[in-house]
Every structure is written in structure tokens, then in C-alpha cells.
């Protein structure tokens, strides 16, 4: 929808805080009854702050705090400043050749800047995902799992479950281990295999629940739950939760894979 210049002047005055109390009340009353005007104000608001090097809008809903921080850091970067400068210069040249009204100029800048931000943030996210995937592959060494076949008096079904696990038949292994949980003296070992099996098929919540059971057990192997939980978060791409879990391991030198946890934390940082 097109607006005349007086409306754009009012929008600018409203966003800049240069309206009188009465004019502001009248303008806000118009906003309530005019959806198109609301959209136009939002466009101007976003661009006003996006093009201002000293300000930034922080949404009230902070569910994406990490993304917001990344965007803020991006805006402070030299790369961003150069890109925005290029956009402005290209836009000015374009508008000199083909004059457009104020609204279309704003929309041009909005689309251009939003595209730059989205592309760079997506690249950063992709790179971060590659890092966590790479670290997961490096540290997910299942040869560290305790062998059930060397424990003595092991039940045939557990030996079968272990073989299925190392044959990467994880769903079949889950069936065997799940049915053995309450009938075996090797519960901590079973929980380790069961949790990793869930992890390998992408059942992350079930994997986390299983490792939480291991953590709550009275077994000497209970601290392994922290290490495996950290690996789950790495596989999920939840880098901060992986860090938090690794810090729990570092609270006690006797915890499983203490040195590896320290090493992994350094790589994440």
C-alpha cells in the first residue's frame, strides 16, 4: 500500500520520539485501526535500527538468544560494515537513475540487509554444526563400553544384545537390552548400551533419559552418564548444553573421561 509523504514524516517523527503527546495519541489510534500502517511502521522500525550503528532491537521473546548474540556480533564486524556501506552506495546509485518513493527505498534496504544477515548467520550456523558433528565423530568411541561377554555368568540374551550393537543393529539391540533391564545384575552396563543405541538411531530424548538413569544409579560407572550425555548434546548440535555437561565432569577428577572432557571443552571454546 502506498502512503503520501506526510504519513512517512509522521512515521519518522513517531519512531524518533519527536511527536507531541497529542499527535502521538492520534497516530497510535490510527495504528490500531490500520493494519497496513502497522506493517509500514514495523518496516521503518526494523530498518531504522538496522541502519543505525549504535542501536539494535532485542526482541522481548528471547528464545533465540544465541542467534541474537550472533547477529549483534555480526553487526559489529568490519565485514558487516563494509557490506552495508556497499548496499547503501549501490542503492543510492540505483535510486538516482530511477527515482522511487520513500516506501520502496525502505523496502529495498530492508530486503538487502535482511538477506545479508540471514546468509551470514546461516553460514555461521552451518559451520558450528560441522564442528559439533566432527567432534562427535572424534569422541564417540564405543569401544570404551564395558564388554558384557567378559563379565562372567552373563546371560545369553545380553551377549546377543552386545553382538547386535556392534553389528549396528541398534533397534534389535534396544529390544534385547530393554527386556533385560529388570532381570540382570549388569544394569549399569545395559544402560550404557541402551542409551548409545537410542543415540545412534536419533532417539535423543530416550537416550538422555537412559543416561539420566545411569547417573542416578549407585554404580561406580554412574559418572559415565555425564560423558554420554555430553555426546548426545554434541550430536544434537546443542553446543552450550554439551559444555555445561562437560563442566560437571570436571568437578571431580575421578569422573569418567575427566581428561577427555577437559580436552573437548578446550576444542569447543
Sorted by where each starts, the structural domains of the chain and their CATH numbers stand as: 1-49 (no CATH), 51-129 (no CATH), 140-268 (1.25.40.10)
Average pLDDT on 42-57 reads: 58
Q: What is the pLDDT of residues 188-247, one digit of tens each?
A: 899 999 999 999 999 999 999 999 999 998 888 999 999 999 999 999 988 899 999 999
pLDDT at position 209: 97
pLDDT at position 3: 74
Q: What is the pLDDT of residues 82-105, one digit of tens each?
A: 655 665 565 555 445 545 555 555
Burial (CB < 10 A; 0-12, 13-18, 19+), residue 242, is buried
pLDDT at position 150: 63
Amino acid at each position: 500500500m502506498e502512503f503520501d509523504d506526510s504519513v512517512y514524516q509522521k512515521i519518522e517523527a513517531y519512531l524518533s520520539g519527536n511527536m507531541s503527546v497529542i499527535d502521538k495519541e492520534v497516530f497510535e489510534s490510527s495504528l490500531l485501526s490500520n493494519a497496513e500502517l502497522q506493517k509500514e511502521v514495523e518496516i521503518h522500525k526494523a530498518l531504522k535500527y538496522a541502519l543505525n550503528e549504535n542501536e539494535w532491537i532485542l526482541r522481548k521473546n528471547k528464545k533465540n538468544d544465541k542467534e541474537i548474540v550472533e547477529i549483534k556480533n555480526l553487526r559489529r564486524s568490519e565485514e558487516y560494515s563494509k557490506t552495508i556501506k556497499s548496499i547503501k552506495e549501490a542503492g543510492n546509485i540505483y535510486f538516482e537513475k530511477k527515482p522511487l518513493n520513500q516506501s520502496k527505498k525502505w523496502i529495498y534496504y530492508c530486503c538487502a540487509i535482511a538477506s545479508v544477515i540471514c546468509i551470514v548467520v546461516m553460514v555461521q550456523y552451518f559451520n558450528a554444526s560441522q564442528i559439533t558433528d566432527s567432534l562427535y565423530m572424534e569422541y564417540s568411541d564405543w569401544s570404551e563400553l564395558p564388554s558384557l561377554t567378559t563379565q562372567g555368568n552373563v546371560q545369553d540374551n545380553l551377549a546377543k544384545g552386545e553382538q547386535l550393537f556392534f553389528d549396528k543393529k541398534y533397534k534389535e539391540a534396544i529390544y534385547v537390552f530393554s527386556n533385560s533391564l529388570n532381570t540382570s545384575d549388569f544394569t549399569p552396563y545395559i544402560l550404557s548400551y541402551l542409551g548409545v543405541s537410542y543415540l545412534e538411531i536419533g532417539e535423543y530424548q530416550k537416550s538422555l533419559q537412559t543416561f539420566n538413569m545411569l547417573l542416578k544409579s549407585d554404580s561406580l560407572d554412574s559418572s559415565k552418564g555425564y560423558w554420554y550425555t555430553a555426546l548426545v548434546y554434541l550430536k544434537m548440535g546443542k553446543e552450550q548444553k554439551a559444555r555445561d555437561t562437560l563442566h560437571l565432569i570436571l568437578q571431580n577428577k575421578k569422573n569418567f573421561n575427566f581428561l577427555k572432557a577437559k580436552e573437548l571443552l578446550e576444542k569447543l571454546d
